[in-house]
Structure 1
Amino acid sequence: MTSDDVLLSEATDRVDSIELTAWAHRLSPGMCPPDPCRSGTAAFDVPAKDHNREAQKMSKVYTGASTSIDGYVSGPDFSGFDKLFAWYEAGDVAFTVPTGAMTVHLTPASAAYFGGLIQATGALVVGRKLYDFTNGWGGQHPMGVHTVVLTHRPLEDNEHFTFVSGGIEEAVAVAQKHAGDKGVGLNSGEIARQAIDAGLVDEIFLDLVPVILGGGTPFFAPGKGYELEGPISVVESSSVTHLRYKVRYGVDAQDGTAAAGLRGGVHES
């Protein structure tokens, strides 16, 4: 790993911690009113099992982040979060997490989109740093689904959390068993980078915010080649556009120019 890789990893770890609250709350169950949730499934359908996997049918795996127009998840010196997440208060649809710890106000379009995403997600994979940062979300992830924690320092498993130390492949496989026919969500950062380098990520979603940060920590970084196909879904809202892309690997990606890569390595984001 080069010095640039180390700096990028350290920066991403810091961004992961700052962005944690957004990830935890935007996927929380019970936040979405019934009507937006129903309409949202058109933008993010509950995924069926993937018949193209080699060994067995498995649920989709996806990750995403709020990103500036020029591709950054934070600005210089970890600035710009007020701009990247302004869309959390851009509407009149109140989303309150089950714990009551946070309420955001989304537009109907954003509420519908994330209502569908909530319905589509059956399990999560996160890193130990995020788990510790939230103190284990008080005993259960706000989304209410089983959460797999990738760590070199595993704790005792319980009904809401499984701790694995065998690598990203094991973490995703365990999460898929818990997810059933629904999808597996990965927190962005090193977890996503390891998964996409291992060819495990099926889709990437970007909450594209109309702001130019001019530098900082990029969502995408040089790594193993792959291509993004799409967008396969576009949801326009106030202060944000929600985009979904399929990820193409191997021969499919080599047919064209790889759009981007995410650097791997063993890290606990």
Structure 2
Amino acid sequence: MRKVILYIAASLDGCIARPDGSTTWLHNEEYTLDGGDFGYSTLMQSIDTTLMGHNTYKVILGFDIPFPYTDKTNYVFSRSSHTNTEHVEFVQEEVVSFVQRLKQQNGKDIWLIGGGQINTLLLNAGLIDEIILTYIPIILGNGVPLFPPGAQEHQVQVQEVKNYKNGFVQMRLAAV
């Protein structure tokens, strides 16, 4: 069975974006001094599918680059109707049942890009198999939480912790 992997960065106070959805705080020059990709290329080799909410998709489109996951199957969950694009299929179906079926299909692992609402839905349904969480040394004070209110208690097992020279701390966690 395919795994759903939540690979994501968060501030020290657990935010994945500012209240307006902005992630500009992730693009600080000091953070690139380490020279590593923080496991990103390894993740990209292990997946063939991405999942994200519509707000996260809009943030990605706001980057000054072409859509970055053109070699993957990309699903964007939205409550409203959108026309599919060359690289994205919009899904209005209920998230949990869609992902349950997707995990049963043949293929590589699945990257849950976020955001918080989808993270919580899939966490509560027991569909997140692994979390690769990179803490960024910043406190935002307010923003989009990694798991918004409504997340149920879940035990996870720490598989690995990495410290980077730029202050990042990355934890690889497995569902128990």
- Equivalent residue of 2:39, what SS? helix
Q: Mean Cα displacement is larger for which, 144-153 or 156-165?
A: 156-165
1: distance between equivalents of 2:89 and 2:116? 20
Query: Which protein is bigger by CA-based radius of gyration?
Result: 1
CA distance in 1, matches of 2:31, 2:106: 27
Please give the residue correspondences for 1:139-178 in structure 2 after superposition, counting only pairs within 5 Å. 141-144=67-70, 145-157=72-84, 160-173=87-100, 175-176=102-103
Q: Report what 1:66 is aligned to.
A: 9
> 1:135-171: per-residue Cα shift (whole Å, max 9, x none)?
5989x84122110111222334465322221211244
Match of 2:52 among 126, 138, 144: 126
Equivalent residues of 1:124, 1:148 under 8 A apart: yes
Trace 1:219-234 onto structure 2 (pairs within 5 A): 219-222=146-149, 223-230=151-158, 232-234=159-161
Q: What is the rounded CA distance, in whole Å, between the counterparts of 1:118 and 1:182 in structure 2?
A: 9
**How much does 1:81 deviate?**
5.0
Give the Cα separation in 2 of the matches to 1:204 and 1:121. Answer: 14
Paired amino acid for 2:5? Y
Does the 8 A contact of 1:125 with 1:175 survive in 2?
no
| Structure 2 counterpart of 1:115, from 37, 41, 59 | 41
- Over the matched positions of the two proteins, sequence identity in percent amounts to 24
CA distance in 2, matches of 1:159, 1:173: 24
C-alpha separation between the residues in 1 aligned to 2:4 and 2:40?
Answer: 16
- Are residues 189 and 156 of structure 1, via their aligned partners in 2, closer, same or farther at CA, if it must alter by over 3 Å? same
Give, in whole Å, the separation in 2 of the partners of 1:121 and 1:186: 12
The residue type equivalent to 1:125 in the other structure is L
Which of 145, 162, 166 is the matching residue for 1:235?
A: 162
Q: Distance in 2 between matches of 1:209 and 1:129?
A: 21
* Structure-1-length-normalised TM-score: 0.52
Structure 1 residues 235-244 or 69-78, which shifts more?
Answer: 69-78
Q: Distance in 2 between matches of 1:165 and 1:178?
A: 19
Q: CA deviation at 1:60?
A: 0.7
Computed over aligned residues only, the root mean square deviation of the Cα atoms, in angstroms, reads 3.5
Aligned equivalents of 1:179, 1:156: Cα separation in 2: 26
Is the CA contact 2:82–2:90 (under 8 Å) kept in the aligned structure 1? yes
State the Cα distance separating 1:199 from its structure 2 match: 1.6
C-alpha offsets along residues 36-74 of structure 1, whole Å, 9 cap, x if unaligned? xxxxxxxxxxxxxxxxxxxxxx21112143223343435
Greater helix share, structure number: 1
> How far apart are 1:183 and its partner, in Å?
3.0
2:135 aligned to which of 202, 208, 216: 208
Q: Map 1:26-105 to 2 at 5 A.
A: 58-73=1-16, 81-82=24-25, 84-86=26-28, 88-91=31-34
Q: Could you say which residue in structure 1 is the equivalent of 2:120? A: 193
Residue number among 97, 111, 114 corresponding to 1:184 in the alignment: 111
How far apart in 1 are the matches of 2:50 and 2:162? 23
Deviation at 1:226, TM superposition (A): 0.8
TM-score, structure 2 length as denominator? 0.74
Q: Which has the higher strand share?
A: 2
Q: Give 1:247's aligned residue.
A: 175
Aligned to 1:215, the other structure's residue is in SS state coil
- Bigger RCO (CA 8 Å, 6+ sep): 2
Q: Distance in 1 between matches of 2:45 and 2:23?
A: 30
Gap regions ≥5 residues in structure 2: none
